[in-house]
Amino acid sequence: MKYPHVISALFAAALFAVPSLASAESKLVVAMPTTPPNIVHMPIHIARDLGLYKKLGLTVDTVQLEGGVKTYRAMVARNADIASASGPFSIVGLARGAPTKAILAYAPKLEASMIVNKDIKTMADLKGKRIGIQQPGGFADVLARAVLRAAKIDPKEVHFVSIASEDVPALVANQIDTAILHVEQEIVAQSKVPGLHAIARLWEIQPKNLYNVMAVTDKTVKEKQAALQAFVTGTIEATRLMYTDKARVLPVLVKYTELPKDVVEKAYDFMVKNCIWDANHGLDRNRVNFTASLMTRVGNIPQGKTPKYEDIVELSFANKALKELGDWKGPMCMAHAS
C-alpha cells in the first residue's frame, strides 16, 4: 500500500512564505506544525517561556505552519533552522536526497487517536465510511491508513474526504465519520457531541512507529553547533518539566492552546499517564529503523535505498545534553533506549 503523493514537491520551497533566518549563532527559527500549537508540541514553548533557552544564551523564534510536511520543506529550503516534523516524512525526505538529520524526538510516540461517531463500534465498521484527511500523505492520511491496515480494510473500501486543517468542526457537523485528533481536540469534540469516541489509539496499534522529530539540515549542524546544543539541552529540560512541574507548565499550555483550563488539564493528565513525551532523546534505534523499513515496504522509499540509523540521526547534541543533565528519573516508560 502506498501513501499517494507523500513526496510530491518536496523541495517546492517557494510555496512557503516564511521569514528569513537570522544569521546569528545565538538565534534559531523553529517551524511548528499546527496553529494554535497542540499540547504534544509544547516542550519548545515551555523552554522558551520559562527561560530555559535564555539561560543557555539562545533565542528561539517559532513560525506556525500547517503540518509536519510543510515544516520539513521549509527547513530544507533554509526558511527555518529546525523543523518540528513528521518522523516518517523526514526519513523519506532523506532517502530521496534531502541532506537532513533528526537531532531529537521529544514526542516519538504517535500521540493521536481515530475518533468516530456513535454508529462505529469496532474498526471493522469503518468499511464504507467517510475518513477525514487534510492532504494526501499528511498526518491524518498516514495515520488513518494505519488504522485501516490494522483493521484489514482496503483503502478503496472507504471514502477519503478532504477537510480543513481543523478536524473538530467537520466531525461535529457530521461531514465526516472519523477524524484523527490530538488528545485535547478529542475532549473538545466530545463536549459538543458526547457520542464521539476513540476507536483506536495510534500509540497502541502502531507502538513502534516514529511520530515527531526535530529535523535540521547537515549545513545547520555544521554552522550552528552551539545554538543547536543549547536548543536540544533546553528542550530536554522542558520535556522533563512536563512530568515534574504541572503548576509551572499548565499556564503555558493554556496560553498557547487557547483552550479552557479544564480541557487542557484533562488532556495533560491523560498524556502524562500515557507517557506521551520522551524525556531523553527519543530516537530509539528500533523505532527509527522500524519506521524506515515501513516506509520502504509501503513504497515511499525505493527498495535498496532505506537509510541506516546512523544516516538518519545526529545524536551528538542529545548525548552531550544527557551527560550534563544526568539520567532521567521519571516514569520507567521514558527510560533511555539506545
**Of 18 and 252, more confident:** 252
Helix ranges, 160-279 (H): 167-172, 183-192, 202-205, 218-223, 225-244, 246-257, 261-273
Residue 324 class from Cβ within 10 Å (0-12 exposed, 13-18 middle, 19+ buried)? exposed
Which of 56-70, 128-142, 169-183, 184-198 is least confident?
A: 128-142
Which of 54-58, 298-302, 324-328 is most confident?
Answer: 54-58
Same domain, yes or no: 151 and 240 = no
Same domain, yes or no: 303 and 222 = yes
Q: Is 218 contained in some domain? A: yes
> 158: domain CATH number?
3.40.190.10
Q: What is the CA radius of gyration of the chain?
A: 19
Q: Is 3 contained in some domain? A: no
Domain residues for 119? 113-205
Which of 4-18, 159-173, 210-224 is least confident?
A: 4-18
pLDDT at 6: 43
pLDDT at 299: 87
Same domain, yes or no: 19 and 95 = yes
As a whole number of angstroms, the distance between CA 104 and CA 79 comes to 20
Per-residue confidence at 166, pLDDT binned at 50, 70, 90?
low
Per-residue confidence at 20, pLDDT binned at 50, 70, 90?
very low
Final residue of a structural domain among 205, 220, 252: 205
Same domain, yes or no: 80 and 226 = yes
For 195-205, the pLDDT digits (tens) are 999 999 999 99
Final residue of a structural domain among 205, 220, 235: 205
**Of 69 and 120, more confident:** 120
C-alpha cell at position 316: 551528538
Per-residue confidence at 333, pLDDT binned at 50, 70, 90?
low
Question: How would you classify residue 97: left for phi > 0, otherwise alpha for psi between -120 and 50, otherwise beta?
Answer: left
pLDDT at 21 over 70: no
Same domain, yes or no: 169 and 249 = no
Final residue of a structural domain among 182, 205, 228: 205
Residue 253 dihedral angles phi and psi, to the nearest 5°: -65, -45
Beta-strand runs (E) in the chain: 27-32, 59-64, 82-86, 100-104, 113-116, 130-133, 159-162, 178-181, 197-201, 212-217
Same domain, yes or no: 62 and 201 = no
As a whole number of angstroms, the distance between CA 213 and CA 205 comes to 20
pLDDT at 228: 98
Same domain, yes or no: 102 and 47 = yes
Number of domains in the chain: 2
pLDDT at 2: 41
Closest CA to 220 of 8, 54, 21, 13: 21
Question: Stretch 330-336: mean pLDDT, rounded?
Answer: 53
Same domain, yes or no: 71 and 136 = no
Q: Which residues contact 120 (CB under 8 A, 6 or more apart)?
A: 126, 129, 177, 178, 199
As a whole number of angstroms, the distance between CA 145 and CA 130 comes to 13
pLDDT at 241: 95
pLDDT at 165: 63
pLDDT at 220: 97
Q: Is 138 contained in some domain? A: yes
For 241-291, the pLDDT digits (tens) are 999 999 999 999 999 999 999 999 999 999 999 999 999 999 999 999 999
**Of 330 and 162, more confident:** 162
Per-residue confidence at 146, pLDDT binned at 50, 70, 90?
confident
Q: Is 2 contained in some domain? A: no
As a whole number of angstroms, the distance between CA 332 and CA 338 comes to 15
pLDDT at 25: 53
Same domain, yes or no: 191 and 58 = no
Question: Stretch 303-308: mean pLDDT, rounded?
Answer: 95
Q: Which residue has the cell 540521526?
A: 313
Q: What percent of the chain has pLDDT over 70?
A: 89
Question: Stretch 106-125: mean pLDDT, rounded?
Answer: 94
User: CA-CA distances (angstroms) from residue 18 to 70, 87, 102, 187, 272?
Assistant: 11, 21, 21, 32, 33
Please name the helix (run of DSSP H) or strand (run of DSSP E) that holds residue 146, with its range, or none: helix 139-150
pLDDT at 331: 65
Sheet bearing 212-217, strands edge to edge: 59-64, 27-32, 82-86, 212-217, 100-104
